[in-house]
Amino acid sequence: GIQVEQSPPDLILQEGANSTLRCNFSDSVNNLQWFHQNPWGQLINLFYIPSGTKQNGRLSATTVATERYSLLYISSSQTTDSGVYFCAGRSGGTSYGKLTFGQGTILTVHP
Amino acid sequence: GAVVSQHPSRVICKSGTSVKIECRSLDFQATTMFWYRQFPKQSLMLMATSNEGSKATYEQGVEKDKFLINHASLTLSTLTVTSAHPEDSSFYICSASQLTGNQPQHFGDGTRLSIL
């Protein structure tokens, strides 16, 4: 299966700062998703972005499939953005859709 | 749309008990559902792929007799942890896709299982 690596593992920000989270994957993917896991464990689906760029409010994401990476941008961070951010990819060779998760980025936003 | 409901959200039970967790796709049909496990401060690890009307596919190292999966309809998959022990305590999350192929996966809210 594919390997998914996220960086940085930990990120501490002051409220209002911008940040970029990165996800590298070892093989081509036909599904790439970004999630925010809140303190209760719920996985919030941020983006489904196998390629291209999408924006949703203060968040945006870009996937460059040919170079096997994806970026998640958080602008004007707020304390409620704190939590763990995961990216997960599905290899193009996988026939039944299982996702492989990265190890996550723990984001802490201080007021 | 594309809501996945998981129940129960939390279970606390004694060692040796069997626990059933349900995963339902509320507004779409899912021929395939997935079961993940997450230990504290770790990522999600796929346990098995649940296929409607056929046997589940288990990942390496996951005991199929320990974690029974049933996917009897296009909207319901169940995971039963049989004879649970404290080391089975974990956070279990299911997901489903609307179609096979290039569709996002939608996740339930997870079940926190604590075995005493």
CB of A102 less than 8 A from some CB of B: yes
Judge whether residue A95 has pLDDT over 70: no
Q: What single-letter amino acid sits at A17?
A: A
- Of A31, A101, A102, nearest to B104 by CB-CB distance is A31
CA B46, CA A35: separation in Å to the nearest integer?
Answer: 16
**Which has the closest alpha carbon to B42: A9, A57, A79, A64?**
A9
Convert the pLDDT of each residue in A28-73 to its tens digit. 888 899 999 998 899 999 999 999 999 999 999 999 999 999 999 9
CB of A35 less than 8 A from some CB of B: yes
Q: Token pair for residue B47?
A: 């346990």
3-state secondary structure of B107: strand
Kindly report the nearest CA distance between residue A30 and chain B, in angstroms.
Answer: 6
Convert the pLDDT of each residue in B8-59 to its tens digit. 999 999 999 999 999 999 988 888 899 999 999 999 999 999 888 888 999 9
User: pLDDT value at position B93?
Assistant: 98
Question: Do B58 and B116 touch, CB atoms closer than 8 A?
Answer: no
Alpha-helical (H) ranges within chain B are none
Q: Token pair for residue A15?
A: 């409220």
For the purposes of burial, counting CB atoms within 10 Å of the CB of A111, is it exposed (0-12), middle (13-18) or buried (19 or more)? exposed
pLDDT band at B114 (very low <50, low <70, confident <90, very high): very high
CA A2, CA A90: separation in Å to the nearest integer?
Answer: 8
- In B48-77, the residues whose Cβ lies within 8 Å of chain A are 49, 51, 57
CB of B80 less than 8 A from some CB of A: no
Kindly report the nearest CA distance between residue A69 and chain B, in angstroms.
Answer: 18
Question: Do B37 and B44 touch, CB atoms closer than 8 A?
Answer: yes
3-state secondary structure of A79: helix
Give B95's contacts (C-beta < 8 A, 6+ positions apart). Answer: A99, B4, B33, B34, B36, B105, B106, B107, B108
Nearest CA in chain A to B107: A43
Are B43 and A33 an interchain contact pair (Cβ–Cβ within 8 Å)? no
- Of B38, B91, B105, nearest to A99 by CB-CB distance is B105
Instruction: Name beta bridge partners: A90.
Output: A31
- Of A33, A35, A98, nearest to B34 by CB-CB distance is A98
CB of B5 less than 8 A from some CB of A: no
User: pLDDT value at position B54?
Assistant: 85
CA B88, CA A27: separation in Å to the nearest integer?
Answer: 32
- Of B43, B51, B100, nearest to A101 by CB-CB distance is B43
Mean pLDDT over A1-10 rounds to 94
3-state secondary structure of A74: strand
Instruction: Name beta bridge partners: B38.
Output: B44, B91
Convert the pLDDT of each residue in B61-103 to its tens digit. 999 999 999 988 889 999 999 999 999 999 999 999 876 556 7
